[in-house]
Amino acid sequence: MFDYYWDNERIWVYLDYSNMHYTKYALWWEYDIWKFLNVCSNDKKITRIWFYWAFDPKNLRQYNRVQKLKAQFTDKKFYFYFKKLETKWWKSKWNVDTEMWFDIAQDSMNDLWDCLILFTWDGDFLYPVKKVFKQSKKISIVSTKPFIAKELVDFVNKQDPNICRYINLNRNNKYSLPIKSELKDTTRWIALYPPLVKWIQSADTNDLLELKNWVQAAINWNVYEEKTPEFLITDKFSKNIILHRQVEEKTALVECLNNII
C-alpha cells in the first residue's frame, strides 16, 4: 500500500477509528477494517499498527466488535486502545485525541519509526504533526474532504510531497488507490440504506434541503415520546435507517448534504 516509501524505512500506522467511522458519508462506501488490518499485518514495511476507538459499551454491536478485534489480532505488531464513551452534561465524547497525541510524540522522540501514516480528519492533530515534521520524519495524512480540517490540509500541502503528503480517499491516484482497494468493503454499500443513497444522488436541490431539515429534526427526535417526523420518502425502512442512527452520524449526514447542496 505504501510503496512510495523506501524498503528500509520503518512505517507505523495510526488509525483514529472514532473519526474514520464518519468519513463514509463523503466516500459513499463502507470500510472493511478487518481486511485492511490483515493486509497491514502481512506488510513487512509496516512494523506497528495503532488502533484507537471510543466505543459505547451499552451498544452490543460495538462491544462485540471490540471483542472480535481483540481476539483476531493478537500479534505484537498491533496495539489496540479502546476507550469507553464519555458522557457529560448529556453530551457524548467519542474522541481519543489526547492518547494518540501522546503516543505519536513519544514514539517519534524515541526514534521508533521513520514514516507516519495517520488516518484521521481532526484538526487537533495539526500541532503534533508540526512537531513530528520538525524531527525530519515522513508523514502521510489519510482522510477525505469535506471532513478533514482545512488547517491540517493547508499545512501538509505546503510541504515537500516526498516528505509530507495528504492522501484524499475521494481521489483516484497512485497513493489513494492501493489504500482504497484494501480498505473498501466491496460487499456492502454505505451504512445508509442503498435506495436512500440512490435517491440522494438523483434528488434536486429542494428535495435535498427537505431531507436535510428532516435529518436535523430527527437528531432531536425522541423514539419513546414522539411520532416519526413526516418526510417525502415513502420507504419506511429508509426513514428508520436514519432515525435510529447515532446523533454523530446524523450530524455527519447533514454536513454531507450541505456540501452537496
Residues 124-151: tens digit of each pLDDT = 788 888 888 888 899 999 988 777 888 8
Distance CA 196, CA 206 (A): 16
Residue 84 CA: distances (Å) to CA of 53, 120, 218, 238? 9, 19, 25, 30
- Please name which of 24, 37, 3 lies closest in space to residue 144, comparing C-alpha atoms: 24
Q: Report the pLDDT value the prediction gives residue 115, as an integer from 0 to 100.
A: 93
Q: Report the pLDDT value the prediction gives residue 142, as an integer from 0 to 100.
A: 93
Letter string b/e over residues 215-247, b meaning 16 or more CB atoms within 10 A of that residue's CB: beebbebeeeeeeebebebeeeebbebbbebbe
CB atoms within 10 A of CB 207: 14
Q: Report the pLDDT value the prediction gives residue 51, as an integer from 0 to 100.
A: 93
Phi, psi of 86 (to 5 degrees): -100, 130
Distance CA 135, CA 109 (A): 8
Ranges of residues in the chain with a pLDDT under 50 are 190-191
Q: Report the pLDDT value the prediction gives residue 144, as an integer from 0 to 100.
A: 85
Task: Look up residue 42 and give its amino acid.
Answer: N
- Please name which of 168, 144, 167, 166 lies closest in space to residue 155, comparing C-alpha atoms: 166
Q: What is the pairing mode between strands 11-16 and 46-55?
A: parallel
Specify the DSSP class assigned to residue 86.
E
Q: How many DSSP H helices and E strands does the chain contain?
A: 12, 8
